[in-house]
Structure 1
Amino acid sequence: MKKSGVTLVDVAKLAGVSTMTASRALSGEGYASEEMRTKVHAAAKELGYVPNALARMMKGGKTNVIGVVVNDLSSAVINAFVTALSEEVRKIEMDMFIYNSLGDLGHGRGKRLSQMLHGLWDGLLFVLPRMTDDYLEQLEQSASPIVLVNYFSRETTLPVVRGDNVNGAHDAVSHLLDLGHRRIAFVRGMAYTGQSELRERGYRLAHEAAALEVDPALVVGGDFSEVAGLEAGRALMDLPEPPTAIFAGNDSMALGCINAIREKGLEVPKDVSVVGFDDIPASALVQPALTTLRHPVEAMAHAAVQELVRRIQGQPGRRHRIEFPSEFIVRASTAAAPAPAPRARPRARGRRAQA
């Protein structure tokens, strides 16, 4: 039963050990026999004792906290990572602290964040698609354990756990080519994240493998939002020769493209096939359900937490970069390319009437 105002002295008294032994058993710092650890943990649980992380920090001990820094909690992809990371941290009986940077890491803000968090965590996981070079350099120079999750912007000396974008995009476009599509559009995302560039590379490599040229008119800009997908889809559908398939840089833009196609009175996938990337929850709910690619978020979260824990414990990391293959999920938004419209036959000249 939990009680208020419980101290380490209370825990030690109930366990029948000294305060020092209780401290060692709970913190993991210093020697305590397995029997003593069991007694102390049982007493702490019974009393509802919560160790004071700030006090441990001031004594130079471990806080048993992993920090997770994100830049947009409204993102379905980032939310999926945060949920999976939380599960992994709970499994190893540590706590998790989430800081939402709202995209302001850099220009002095990153330094203040570093100062604010210093010592309150044993290690940090950054789930950020981008950060300024200045802030990244601060992290690279830090002695603190740090792992970047799903980071692509540029090469770094920090360990990175991420999903594969190039081969996943290649698989998506190859699927469309196998269905007979030859005019396949690509909707870009924001360039600074690095992910859009890698997905476009896979798109182009699939065309090269099929000995096909990419029509520059079929590659259009976007920013990973559904509104950008709608605008891109409208532009593509207004082309003199519109695409029969669209590969969008993420699911949100793919959903926007589907709306643009419907505005034209066309159907997905009868007239135009659509593929996304990320497998956000809405992709399975939209009609028709979206063909897309999925990163193994749970496996990536497990690898990121384990990599961070190794570094917290002073062990060598497993690899500098751990990359997971993406999974291609075929749903109802892709189908065989529509047959080309028959060309109009030239009208036969009528015979001149006999006088």
Structure 2
Amino acid sequence: MKKAGVTLVDVAKLAGVSVMTASRALSGEGYASEETRTKVQAAAKQLGYTPNALARMMKGGKTNVIGVVVNDLTSSVINCFVTALSEEVRKVDMDLFIYNSLGDLGDGKGKRVSQMLHGLWDGLVYVLPRMTDDYLETLEKSSSPIVLINYFRHETSLPVVRGDNVNGAHDAVSHLVELGHRRIGFIRGNAYTGQSDLREQGYVKALSDAGIELDPALVYQGNFSEQSGMDGGHHLLSLAEPPTAIFAASDAMAQGAMTAIREKGLRIPEDISVIGFDDIPSAAMTRPPLTTLRHPFDAMAHATVQELVRRIKGEPGRRHRIEFPSEFVVRESTGPAPAGSSSKRSRLRRV
């Protein structure tokens, strides 16, 4: 515990060096020999002295803090990213602070938030899939080191670390085709983030590759929520010729669809198969466990922190866009198309 009244002057006096040397030794900025650095750090530990991050910030120094900005702490996907980022930040001996924007940072709020955050942290990670165009423009003009996670809506000059959506969705629907399904429903999320559109592209491409004509009646507009998945499930099952499988653009919507299926008295996967996307923690605990696509949160967090640290140090970034393949996780919610359905097995043409 830091003793009351202990200052950098006290540390320098105990270590037998100047205050400037003690400051350099503790901050890592400027030259200090390893012997001096060890001596000053020992004195600081003995006195219980901890450098004041706010004071360093006011002097234009480094705070050794990375900030992460999110807009929905109730999101399981965002929480997975934040947890993984926390582990990676510790590995580089820095601290992580979280700012919850509670929205999309539109209507001028984004500029105010950007001004407030500038200088408080050495670098910023944004996990804001619902970022407005105005706020993106504000960030692009910022001098702060910034990395975006899972941003898909527009092209940007900022570095982006993201998971692949198109090929992941293609793998999911191809799996269903290989199981004999030909009427495959799709529950899309809202278009604002760009992710749902990409997952729909994979869905459409997989059907086309298998020679299956797209039926617009099998596509339902959801909003990534479990309730919209349940509504979508009821809608698809009420069709004159319902699907034998449902692919949802998120695990939450897939779980909602599974509820609708059970309410209809149908079995999963004997009567209808279900696939989600994201592999949130609850996906493995549904009954039956949900087949889904997984973005590698740990690997993406590692790449994000490494890219950000390079930029904090003034080093050139390695890549402008870092994209990770989705992993297809097959569980028990998918199975062969039910006998007697209109589904017929077809040979899948891989690309």
Letter in 1 for 2:256: G
Q: What's the C-alpha RMSD, in Å, of the aligned pairs? A: 1.4
**Matched residue SS, 1:265:** coil
Partner of 1:48: 48
Partner of 1:206: 206
**1:216–1:76 CA distance, 2 compared to 1 (3 A):** same
Post-superposition Cα deviations, 1:216-236, rounded to whole Å, max 9, x if no partner, equal 000101011100000000000
Letter in 2 for 1:29: E
Post-superposition Cα deviations, 1:26-68, rounded to whole Å, max 9, x if no partner, equal 1111110112222222333344322212211221111111111
Partner of 1:318: 318
Partner of 1:113: 113
Unaligned segments of structure 2, at least 5 residues:
343-351
Partner of 1:100: 100
Does residue 1:270 correspond to 2:270, yes or no? yes
Does residue 1:301 correspond to 2:297, yes or no? no
Partner of 2:181: 181
Distance 2:47 2:329 in 1: 49
Letter in 2 for 1:300: M
Distance 2:48 2:81 in 1: 30
**Matched residue SS, 2:323:** strand
Deviation at 1:115, TM superposition (A): 1.6
Deviation at 1:4, TM superposition (A): 4.0
Deviation at 1:16, TM superposition (A): 3.2
Unaligned segments of structure 1, at least 5 residues:
343-355
Normalised by the length of structure 2, the TM-score is 0.94
Partner of 1:195: 195
Letter in 2 for 1:208: S
**1:341–1:88 CA distance, 2 compared to 1 (3 A):** closer
Distance 1:48 1:66 in 2: 24
Distance 1:230 1:242 in 2: 15
Deviation at 1:118, TM superposition (A): 1.7
Equivalent residue runs for 1:256-295 within 5 Å: 256-295=256-295
Equivalent residue runs for 1:14-33 within 5 Å: 14-33=14-33
**1:259–1:25 CA distance, 2 compared to 1 (3 A):** same
Mapped contact 1:185–1:219 kept (Cα < 8 A): yes
Task: Pick which of 181-190 and 15-24 moved more.
Answer: 15-24
**Matched residue SS, 1:220:** strand
Mapped contact 1:2–1:46 kept (Cα < 8 A): no
Letter in 1 for 2:16: G
Deviation at 1:9, TM superposition (A): 2.2
**Matched residue SS, 2:337:** coil
Distance 1:104 1:204 in 2: 29
Letter in 1 for 2:322: I
Task: Pick which of 107-116 and 327-336 moved more.
Answer: 107-116
Distance 2:108 2:206 in 1: 42
**Matched residue SS, 1:259:** helix
Does residue 1:85 correspond to 2:85, yes or no? yes
Distance 1:174 1:3 in 2: 64
**Matched residue SS, 1:43:** helix
Distance 2:27 2:260 in 1: 58
**Matched residue SS, 1:83:** helix
Distance 1:87 1:96 in 2: 9
Task: Pick which of 41-50 and 63-72 moved more.
Answer: 41-50
Over 6 Å off, 4+ runs: none
Task: Pick which of 29-38 and 171-180 moved more.
Answer: 29-38
Mapped contact 2:181–2:245 kept (Cα < 8 A): yes
Mapped contact 2:186–2:248 kept (Cα < 8 A): yes
Normalised by the length of structure 1, the TM-score is 0.93
Distance 2:341 2:161 in 1: 47
**Matched residue SS, 1:36:** helix
Deviation at 1:20, TM superposition (A): 1.4
Distance 1:341 1:70 in 2: 45
Does residue 1:67 correspond to 2:79, yes or no? no
Letter in 2 for 1:334: T
Partner of 2:159: 159
Mapped contact 1:130–1:152 kept (Cα < 8 A): no
Distance 1:178 1:206 in 2: 11
**1:341–1:169 CA distance, 2 compared to 1 (3 A):** closer
Does residue 1:36 correspond to 2:47, yes or no? no
**Matched residue SS, 2:265:** coil
Post-superposition Cα deviations, 1:299-351, rounded to whole Å, max 9, x if no partner, equal 10010011011111111111110000010000000000001159xxxxxxxxx
Deviation at 1:143, TM superposition (A): 1.6
**1:259–1:5 CA distance, 2 compared to 1 (3 A):** farther
Deviation at 1:97, TM superposition (A): 1.6
